[in-house]
Amino acid sequence: MKKIQIKTVKGFNEVLPPESFRWRLVEDKFRDLLEGYGFAELRLALLEPTELFARSIGGETDIVEKEMYTFADRSDRSLTLRPEGTASVVRAYNQYSLGKSSEINKLYYVGPMFRYERPQKGRYRQFHQLGAEVFGEESFYQDAETLVMLAQLFHALSIKGVELHLNSLGCDACRPAFRDHLKDYLSQRHEALCEDCRRRSLENPLRALDCKNPYCREAVADAPPISDSLCDDCSLHFTGLCGLLEDAGIDFQINPRLVRGLDYYTRTTFEFLAGDLGAQNAVAAGGRYDRLVEELGGKATPAFGFAIGFERLMMLIGSEVAPLTSPLVALIPLGEEALGLLFPIHVDLNRKAQVTTLSFQQKSLKSQLKKADKDGVIYALIVGQDELAQGEAICRNMRTKEQTKLPFERLRESLRELYHEC
């Protein structure tokens, strides 16, 4: 049979060791911080009815128009691999009536997302997000609490140079007037816009503010800022948030063009940008979406949320987070009988996270010692014919080359003592 090598689908990012250890450590920090703030985890379906995203993210958006992995299943239902987490969390919030229990109003998730984009540094077709949503709180204190929590996460991970960009998109009361205003402005610059923006500017003119095309950027550079159109309530909400962030010592910039590529936002939108990431510079993003729960069939409930791009976060951390501890002791059997003696010790110690290595193949002393050296272990425990006859193992310090003898009957205790010493 002809040999073929099967590879991943293009742009599907996988995480291999030792990088996966580092991911786990970072994920643990995220979980600890969020659980400290009262968040609980949701583990959700990866596949959803396409309609969920079409309705929540919005028709004239990049995600829905060209980035979704959508296909018909065997009974011809249109399904989509989730491109983001918020829609699914809101779907679950409504489906399981999570709002009925006042304790379940802060939810987080960790997992893969799928978008058909051009793969490049920091941009993949399968990527991962750490995200969270808070339900039922309208106050700008909630926006502030969540943003401060994110800043604390970056601090805990020793990430510097991340800038918070903020904007308010207004609400149903004030946004329509701004949209009309912007529509007029764009219609005068129709020629300068990219094809997408020309088409979308009638239905969804805010999208042009978000477009990455350099011509569109130039065309909207002097667009009227939304801050001029906010109603009193939205203005107070935004200034209240800015005040709390200033008091908390969090630097931020107000960016009137930050509309975010999804339709569901109201009031606060934000992005954390990192210069070190190059073109794909958004490491986390989110905002308030006070209408979405109701639009997806639930009781009117204000909400606020964010998602962090896991790959981009890890690029910022570099290699500062140490990988998990390497094995401390290599158990080196010479022969079948010695392997039988060492195996129960191996599994017993590993169960207590006192990591040992043991080769199950009959290999020479030299090759086993070489492997132990490569693994960076501190002690090698050697058992061959002579040791079996004498009832003692040789314990070799791999750094000093010093050797001592450990009687079999005390092997477990002796090894545990070695762990304590290191």
The contact set with ligand ATP (CB under 6 A) reads 84, 115, 117, 122-124, 127, 129, 261, 280, 282-285, 307, 309, 311-312
Nearer to ligand ATP, 82 or 346 (CB): 82
Nearer to ligand ATP, 117 or 233 (CB): 117
> What sign does the CA torsion over 141, 151, 213, 13 have?
negative
308 forms bridges with which residues in the sheet?
Answer: 130, 284
The CB-of-218 to ligand ATP minimum distance in angstroms stands at: 18
The CB-of-260 to ligand ATP minimum distance in angstroms stands at: 6
The CB-of-401 to ligand ATP minimum distance in angstroms stands at: 48
**Which tokens go with 49?**
């009815």
Nearer to ligand ATP, 129 or 201 (CB): 129
The CB-of-129 to ligand ATP minimum distance in angstroms stands at: 5
Residue 267: closest CA among 203, 136, 173: 173
Residue 212 to residues 143, 217, 276, 409, Cα–Cα distance (Å): 27, 7, 19, 70
Collapsing DSSP states into helix, strand and coil, what is residue 133?
strand
Using the 8-state DSSP alphabet, how is residue 123 labeled?
A: B
Using the 8-state DSSP alphabet, how is residue 14 labeled?
A: -
Nearer to ligand ATP, 175 or 260 (CB): 260
The CB-of-97 to ligand ATP minimum distance in angstroms stands at: 27
Nearer to ligand ATP, 114 or 379 (CB): 114
The CB-of-12 to ligand ATP minimum distance in angstroms stands at: 11
The CB-of-84 to ligand ATP minimum distance in angstroms stands at: 5
Gap between the Cα atoms of 297 and 307, Å rounded? 23
The CB-of-67 to ligand ATP minimum distance in angstroms stands at: 8
Amino acid at 301: T
Cβ contact 230:177 at 8 Å: no
Output phi, psi for 300, to 5 deg: -55, 120
Output phi, psi for 316, to 5 deg: -75, -30
Nearer to ligand ATP, 316 or 345 (CB): 316
Half-sphere exposure of 210 (CA within 13 A, CB side): 23
* Side-by-side strand order, sheet with 392-397: 356-358, 329-333, 379-383, 392-397, 403-407
Helices (H), 37-80: 50-57, 62
Amino acid at 220: V
Nearer to ligand ATP, 88 or 357 (CB): 88
The CB-of-356 to ligand ATP minimum distance in angstroms stands at: 38
Nearer to ligand ATP, 64 or 245 (CB): 64
Residue nearest to ligand ATP (CB): 309
Cβ contact 156:262 at 8 Å: no
Please report the DSSP string for 242-297 in residue order. HHHHHHTT--EEE-TT---S-TT--SEEEEEEEGGGTTS-EEEEEEE-SSHHHHTT
The CB-of-230 to ligand ATP minimum distance in angstroms stands at: 22
Nearer to ligand ATP, 11 or 240 (CB): 11
What angle do the packed helices 232-247 and 140-156 form, to 10 degrees?
30
The CB-of-28 to ligand ATP minimum distance in angstroms stands at: 20
Nearer to ligand ATP, 150 or 331 (CB): 150
Nearer to ligand ATP, 128 or 346 (CB): 128
Residue 216 to residues 191, 207, 291, 335, Cα–Cα distance (Å): 10, 10, 29, 72
